[in-house]
Amino acid sequence: MRDKKGWDNVLTFFDFWGFYISFVFFTQPKMSSIARLSSTKFLFVCLVFLGSCSFQKEKKEETEIKTSISQEEEYNQLLASGLQQLDTWTIYWKSQEPTFDIAGFKLTGEIPYESLEWPEENFIQQDHPLFNYLIPNPDGHGVVDIYSYKVVMPEEAKVSFNPDSEVIYFKSNGMRERLMFMGPSGGFEEAIWISPDHLMVAGFFEEEGGITPKIWIIIPDEQKYLTFKHSLYSAKYPKTGYLIKKLPNINFSNGVN
């Protein structure tokens, strides 16, 4: 349905040309009938053409709005699908902050990134403590690792946490791709493929108001990720608490609280 502004524009347009045609007929008495008729035809053609342009412009704007809305709905459906599969993570946040609600996530951005990859085989094999936490791509294109960069496990030293975090994609073609990198202000806690093309990563980000839960949906083939921000801020959320709970086969007692 055309809004009031659109109708006002169209009516103003027609009123102008109606006035102009009247001006030709009634203020040019010496103009021959044939000349006036030709002038009228010309003005009518202009009227139809410009009117058509106005309608097409409004139609294009309406289509763009509908496309934008439908894409946002698709992103929100991906978010809902992924959160349903992250019960452990959402329950943990609820245990730390009782007001936490998965409905609080809102789409806040669509960010392109530059692909960074190099030849490297996956070093996390069956005898590695993090092997069971790899996230295989549903179509067999590789595996994702979100813990090995964060958790430092030297052979003869205490386990510690790297202040930075990384989402690594060991691809089936022998390449290692960095999908995301996070400095000390945030961290990655969970990840799951919600489709062969969409990887959801759950974690947190520290802002001026406190620590807030955050969701990223990475689309590797398009080299972009979506960000979903939550309205909750915590002053006491333990930054490494979820990882210690998530990785019970790693002995954190000798080096990490």
* Structure confidence at residue 155 (pLDDT): 75
The tokens for 200 are: 């959801």
> Is 256 part of a structural domain of the chain?
no
* Structure confidence at residue 4 (pLDDT): 45
Residues of the chain with pLDDT under 50: 1-14, 16-17, 19, 23-25, 30-31, 55, 63-64, 257
Residues 151/243, Cβ–Cβ less than 8 Å: yes
**Domain end marker among 77, 94, 122:** 77
Cα-based torsion angle of the residue sequence 117, 118, 123, 124 in order, rounded to the nearest 10 degrees:
10
Q: Across the chain, how many H-helices and E-strands are there? A: 4, 12
Residues 159/252, Cβ–Cβ less than 8 Å: yes
Classify burial at 155, counting beta carbons within 10 Å of its beta carbon; exposed 0-12, middle 13-18, buried 19 or more: exposed
pLDDT in tens, 118-173: 999 999 999 999 999 999 999 999 999 999 999 998 876 788 999 999 999 999 99
Q: Give which of 191, 186, 188 is closest to 220, Cα–Cα.
A: 191
> Is 46 part of a structural domain of the chain?
yes
Cross-strand partners of 145: 168
Q: Domain check: are 63 and 130 in the same one?
A: no
> What span, in angstroms and rounded, lies between the C-alpha atoms of 202 and 193?
12
* Structure confidence at residue 8 (pLDDT): 46
* Structure confidence at residue 70 (pLDDT): 84
Q: Domain check: are 38 and 143 in the same one?
A: no
* Structure confidence at residue 184 (pLDDT): 96
* Structure confidence at residue 10 (pLDDT): 42
Q: Domain check: are 71 and 92 in the same one?
A: no
Q: Domain check: are 69 and 93 in the same one?
A: no
